[in-house]
Amino acid sequence: MKLNPAQNDAVHYVSGPCLVLAGAGSGKTRVIINKIGYLVDKCGYKARNIAAVTFTNKAAREMKERVAQSMGRKEARGLWISTFHTLGLEIIKREHKVLGLKPGFSLFDDQDTLALLKELTQDELDEDKDLLKSLASTISNWKGGSSFQSRRAKSLKMNSSNYLLCYISVMLST
């Protein structure tokens, strides 16, 4: 597969990060496909140690197909080609022990979260959608942020259920 000079440079540059900035349909994905092949064939990397991250699941499917066509299905086996979120989830699944999670842990999307909170706060919040959303977003901030509450909850080693109950009581008292 013939590459133009700029694509060629990007494919063969493997000593650090490389930003390819070009318009739609100009051959960026082709660079990535060829670079993966180059890393495996010429640089001795194992497919399972290479991750390619896309923005959408559709793009990931397309990239998987193009890589398999270009390198061969067998050689492409083990490559990590997925969205950022799927990659993160796969890492958490593999490393669940380190994180103290059970192997079959489940992942809640926004709807699951709201449904559970609705169930748990039936009497207190009376299914008030705004309050439920605010509750969900504050819990999310606690989990991701370095807020005072987050640190305090960690230091108290709360489990998720008393964390939630504690939070609900804070909400109701403010």
Ligand X SMILES: Nc1ncnc2c1ncn2[C@@H]1O[C@H](COP(=O)(O)OP(=O)(O)O)[C@@H](O)[C@H]1O
Which residues would be at the binding site for Mg ion (CB under 5 A)?
A: 29
36, 54, 65 from 18: Cα distances, Å? 13, 16, 23
Is 23 known as a binding-site position? yes
Q: Which of 13, 14, 26, 137 binds ligand X (CB under 6 A)?
A: 26
- Total number of residues that touch ligand X (CB under 6 A): 12
Collapsing DSSP to helix, strand or coil, 1 comes out as coil
Cα distance between residue 121 and residue 116, in whole Å: 9
CB 13 within 8 A of CB 37: no
CA-CA distance, 142 to 34, in Å (whole number)? 42
104 labelled as ligand-binding? no
- Candidate residues 12, 30, 64, 93; the one interacting with ligand X per rule CB under 6 A: 30
CA 131-162-117 angle, to 5 degrees, is 30
Run of H or E residues at 110: helix 110-120
Asked whether position 12 contacts ligand X by CB under 6 A, the answer is no
Structure letter (DSSP) for residue 36: H
The reply to whether 146 sits in an annotated binding site is: no
CB of 34 to ligand X, least distance (A): 9
Q: Is 82 in the site for ligand X (CB under 6 A)?
A: no
Cβ distance 38 to 9 under 8 Å?
A: no
- The response to whether 26 counts as a known ligand-binding position is yes
Which of residues 27 and 47 has its CB atom nearest to ligand X in the complex? Answer: 27
**Part of the chain binding ligand X (CB under 6 A), chosen from 24-32, 85-93, 95-103, 149-157:** 24-32
Q: At its nearest, how many Å lie between ligand X and the CB of residue 125?
A: 47
Question: Which structure tokens are listed for 109?
Answer: 């999307």
Closest CB to ligand X: residue number: 27
Report whether 44 belongs to an annotated binding site: no
Residue 2 found at the interface with ligand X (CB under 6 A): yes
Judged by the rule CB under 6 A, the positions of this chain that interact with ligand X are 2-4, 7, 22, 24-30
